[in-house]
Structure 1
Amino acid sequence: MNKGKGRELRAMLRDWRAAAGVYASLQWRCFHQDGRFDPFLDPATQYRKDGAKVRAGIIRQIVLKHELDVPVPEPVKEGEKPKKRVLPTPPGLSDCLAPMKAALGAAQVQMVQGQVIGTLKSFISNRQNDFVDIVLGSTIDDLGRRQLFTINRATAWFDLGRSVKVETVEIPLSARLLARKIMSHILARHKKPSMKRIGMVVDKRVAELEESRSATSHDLWLKVTVKSGDHRSRRIAIPMRSNDYFSSRQGERKKTFQIIEDRETGRITVGVVTDVGSSFEERRMAYASRAQGPKALDFGLVTMFASDDGDLMGREFLRKLKSIDTTISGIARHVQRSGGKPRDSKRYVAHVTRLRGFITTELRRILNRFVAVRKPTTIFLERLNFQSPELSRRMNRILQNCGRGVLRAKLQALNEEFGVESHEVVSAYTSQTCSCCGYVDRRNRKAQAVFACRWCGRSLHADVNAARNIGSERFRSIGSARRVVRSNVLDMLVTQHVQRNTGERGAPADPRMSNPHFAAWADKARLSTKAA
């Protein structure tokens, strides 16, 4: 792609992002007024209605002031005093998206609206989950929780005028105000989706993909309609080179494209939306016939994944991360000493890009191998924390931002392609609990890779023991990893072990007597011994 086409495409991308920001602000206003986003919002119609109201108000004031013998547009209701003050004109009585339509085109603005609505709905869906987590972690009674869950399900946090009922009983105002306070607190903790770096999702009204007939440097043309400086539409042809993944991708290619600008290098890439429903259905049926049941994975940085079958995958992951961390931290220190910012350094950006590619490749490679060999129907794993005290804060931040998104996307892809489901399990005390007898003690973990139970004597790799705990009914029955308090997990583990082993053990000495987790039980055991 030559420089002229690149400038025109980037100018269109800037206008696209500006229109998305304006439309997102309008949708947020709808959300706080009505409690929901309005996909049919037409700013031009809305402002025309506002303008009609203002003009009617002005005419009414003129008629009343001069006592004209003409019909009053809006008659004053009985018992109300006529207002002598002229109503102020609200700002922006014209379509606020009119400049964007002139810069992009009406069809492009419609695509922007659909993209923004999808992004905001996804954001609010995640905040609804946060709302449930907060309510479940509180001391609110069952009736109050039911009321709050109903409000949350109806997305009626801010629209207090809407009727919301629980079994035909109206929810009281106190619960409505509490729900609004909780959601306001959640929204204050999370940044709203930014439209400053989004890509363009365009369809056949704007873009068209064609195969190259005679070119040798590329095999595809993407013809995109852009606006020139005089706001006239013109079509530019962007050369594209396909890769092996695109060529081997099964399914029906749709006439929808995603145009993305890399935030680090500024390189523009194009993705083609593919409908893989029919091809993936065949794969899921073939996979289900060979599947071997649920499996569990324990995540770490020393060993990236350990399975409940004893597999240790990615054992060199942390060593490679340390090497990359040393390089990136050194470049960042050098740039900062020179008075610059690391992001402005091409060398720093190149190494960070290479790091993200390494993380993405390793996660996908290991999960692909695990699914191909073990063929799980369901993968149980803990809520992952991509951090390590052996790495710098900069490296931990990059790992956290990149790793979670890559893992979530890969698990979703496995579910779509093979029907493999994934569930998060509470990770509290999985590294201290024996997967054989259920005894929890921090002294069980003798070293990073060594686990030896002080109750039953079971000895195995610590990560494999944690993976077996994650896959056991003991931890799977606790509930979602996001909605369980750590102390509740410990109480459950201690109670279960005490119920199975009621009396104090003789020789060897009972390790529970010196275990802080069993302090309450140990005190009762000593008192009963003295009484006897």
Structure 2
Amino acid sequence: MKLTAQIRLDPSPEQADVLLRTMETANAACNAISEHAWATRTFLKYALQKALYHDIKRQFKLSAQVVVRCLGKVADAYKLDKDTKRTFRKRGGIVYDSRILRYYTERREVSIWTMTGRERIPYTVGEHHARLLAYQQGESDLIYRKGRFYLLATCDVPEEDEEAVDGVLGVDLGIAQIATDSDGDSFSGEQVESKRKWYAERRGTLQAVGTRSARRRLRQLSGRERRFRADVNHQISKHLVRKAKDTKRAIALEDLTGIRKRTTVRKSQRARHHSWSFYQLRQFIEYKAKLAGIPIILVDPAYTSRTCSQCGHCEKANRKSQARFACQACGHTMNADVNAAKNIAARGAVMRPMVSRSDHASTGVGRGKLAA
């Protein structure tokens, strides 16, 4: 499985200046390549390389492999859209490969190509990303963010063999309760919602003030809410995958692709709905499950919240409120999210895994098997 390890470079002031100059020169080269590509309507990497390689190498004094990476960056940008001229930020990220970057994981140091030659630069990395670096393969992106340099390294991490399982753990994703499983465990969204409101109010106040110090504070706050949400999603996904592995069960999730377009909410709840990070949580659950050898099954979400998990009766009136489910046929009552999770688990046990996106097909997600 392809995962990304993030490390923070710790260059000296002189090395930092050289890294910035390298990034600025490489992005200037990308803009020059883009000018030619746009003017001549030439967007394929091979054609651009044939036309520009020697000129770009001579004009910008870049190494051969850096020029190749710049040509590839421009060609990749035009793959997305050939109707808009591509421009590159002065200090935008640049791509390195094994010919111009080497990791020395034992002493936590990299050897990286710069405009003045190779530089040996120490780095800082967390334990999780340090483990990923043992499987580093392919490209790494050098980025500059808020005065610091980072390398985002592609790592090809081996997956455990998919286990034969004895059942299915259904997981219902929501807003009031971020996740609820078919065992009845749930993870409240109140802490996330209170944080969202606090950050929204704080941003509004600082934007209204508009002073230099207020703008500086806004920059400091930037990304904190996103990182908080990601941390919560990591904790939830780790708990669910650990439970599934310990109990030898697959994990069944609703296929919620395009849910924001398919659902409507009250005006007062729009901000909360659109900041809902269920897709990120699903991604975290999926990749952690694959690493642990736990099958993931995607099921049709239709009517899981209206169907009785005891008798199968489906009716809108069954859902009495956000939190309460009461079957109009058999009288069964329970928490509405737990009821939905049980329905998801039942569908996962009897339906073929549903894969709604091509990336799941390519990675094998959803090809779970139940033990007889």
Normalised by the length of structure 1, the TM-score is: 0.52
Match of 2:48 in 1: 43
- The offset of 1:373, in angstroms, is 1.4
Match of 1:5 in 2: 15
- The offset of 1:352, in angstroms, is 4.2
> 2-side partners of 1:432 and 1:193: how far apart?
48
The answer to whether the 8 Å contact 1:328/1:348 transfers is no
- The offset of 1:210, in angstroms, is 3.4
Q: Any idea what SS the aligned residue of 1:430 has? A: coil
1:377 aligns with 2:258: no
Return the letter of the residue paired with 2:70: V
The answer to whether the 8 Å contact 1:379/1:420 transfers is no
Match of 1:359 in 2: 229
Which of 346, 360, 368 is the aligned partner of 2:238? Answer: 368
The answer to whether the 8 Å contact 2:327/2:333 transfers is yes
Structure 1 307/383 Cα, relative in aligned 2: closer, same or farther at 3 Å? same
Q: Any idea what SS the aligned residue of 1:439 has? A: coil
Structure 1 119/441 Cα, relative in aligned 2: closer, same or farther at 3 Å? farther
The answer to whether the 8 Å contact 1:322/1:391 transfers is no
> 2-side partners of 1:320 and 1:464: how far apart?
20
The answer to whether the 8 Å contact 1:432/1:442 transfers is yes
- The offset of 1:456, in angstroms, is 2.0
Match of 2:150 in 1: 269
Gaps of 5+ in 1: 48-94, 125-186, 213-218, 228-232, 483-532
Return the letter of the residue paired with 2:253: F
Tell me the percent identity: 21
Greater strand proportion: 2
Return the letter of the residue paired with 1:111: R
The answer to whether the 8 Å contact 2:171/2:251 transfers is no
Q: Any idea what SS the aligned residue of 1:345 has? A: helix
Q: Any idea what SS the aligned residue of 2:279 has? A: helix
> 1-side partners of 2:169 and 2:336: how far apart?
17
Match of 1:437 in 2: 311
- The offset of 1:479, in angstroms, is 6.4
- The offset of 1:372, in angstroms, is 1.3
The answer to whether the 8 Å contact 2:38/2:85 transfers is no
Match of 1:412 in 2: 287
Q: Any idea what SS the aligned residue of 1:377 has? A: strand
The answer to whether the 8 Å contact 1:382/1:470 transfers is no
Which of 66, 85, 107 is the aligned partner of 1:108? Answer: 66
The answer to whether the 8 Å contact 1:257/1:272 transfers is yes
> 2-side partners of 1:422 and 1:17: how far apart?
41
Match of 2:55 in 1: 98
Which of 200, 203, 216 is the aligned partner of 2:97? Answer: 203
> 2-side partners of 1:206 and 1:409: how far apart?
32
- The offset of 1:248, in angstroms, is 3.6
The answer to whether the 8 Å contact 2:299/2:344 transfers is yes
The answer to whether the 8 Å contact 1:207/1:222 transfers is yes
Structure 1 363/116 Cα, relative in aligned 2: closer, same or farther at 3 Å? farther
> 2-side partners of 1:469 and 1:421: how far apart?
18
Structure 1 304/395 Cα, relative in aligned 2: closer, same or farther at 3 Å? closer
Structure 1 23/327 Cα, relative in aligned 2: closer, same or farther at 3 Å? same
1:305-355 residue CA offsets vs partner (Å, 9 max, x unmatched) = 11223332x22xx2212322232222222222234699x734334334222
CA RMSD of aligned residues (A): 4.2
Structure 1 412/322 Cα, relative in aligned 2: closer, same or farther at 3 Å? closer
For this pair of structures, how many residues does the alignment match?
337
1:7-26 residue CA offsets vs partner (Å, 9 max, x unmatched) = 33233334444555666788
1:298 aligns with 2:172: yes
The answer to whether the 8 Å contact 2:199/2:225 transfers is no
Return the letter of the residue paired with 2:207: Q
The answer to whether the 8 Å contact 2:49/2:68 transfers is no
Instruction: With a CA cutoff of 8 Å and minimum separation of 6, indicate the structure with the bigger relative contact order.
Output: 2
The answer to whether the 8 Å contact 2:240/2:285 transfers is no
Max radius of gyration: which structure? 1
Q: Any idea what SS the aligned residue of 1:446 has? A: coil
Structure 1 396/10 Cα, relative in aligned 2: closer, same or farther at 3 Å? farther
Gaps of 5+ in 2: 1-10, 358-372
- The offset of 1:393, in angstroms, is 5.9
Structure 1 394/444 Cα, relative in aligned 2: closer, same or farther at 3 Å? closer
Match of 2:129 in 1: 246
> 1-side partners of 2:109 and 2:281: how far apart?
29
Normalised by the length of structure 2, the TM-score is: 0.72
